[in-house]
Amino acid sequence: GAGVSQSPRYKVAKRGQDVALRCDPISGHVSLFWYQQALGQGPEFLTYFQNEAQLDKSGLPSDRFFAERPEGSVSTLKIQRTQQEDSAVYLCASSPSQGLHTEAFFGQGTRLTVV
């Protein structure tokens, strides 16, 4: 595809349920990021992959959050035992290179609502 694709666009989960959010980055992009955007806030960094290597997971809020990118392309963000405070838009972004400042291209996001 031409851009970053995320699925599902919307997800409603009952508290305590596990969820998996998918990101298809732009083909060939080395770097992949996950961000969390709460209502009225800017995106906040969760984790970063360079190809299949997760180089930075300092933004993951708890051990309930787990991300993977096993083949260096598609990535999945998994949230276990969801809580109401996990309700947010989860944004995925990719960029073509590492080590050079370039803009990141964002997907449309997955809006997660935990009820």
Partner 1 sequence: DQQVKQNSPSLSVQEGRISILNCDYTNSMFDYFLWYKKYPAEGPTFLISISSIKDKNEDGRFTVFLNKSAKHLSLHIVPSQPGDSAVYFCAASEPFQGGSEKLVFGKGTKLTVNP
Q: Which of 17, 22 has the CB closer to partner 1?
A: 22
Q: Supply φ then ψ for residue 100, to 5 degrees.
A: -120, 135
Q: Are 64 and 13 in contact (CB under 8 A)?
A: no
**Is 20 a binder of partner 1 (CB under 8 A)?**
no
Binding mask 40-79 toward partner 1 (x if CB under 8 A, else -) reads xxxxxx--x------xx-xx--------------------
Please tell me what DSSP assigns to residue 107.
Answer: -
Helix then strand count (H, E) for the chain reads 0, 11
Residues that bind partner 1 (CB under 8 A): 4, 31, 33, 35, 40-45, 48, 55-56, 58-59, 91, 93, 95, 98-101, 103-109
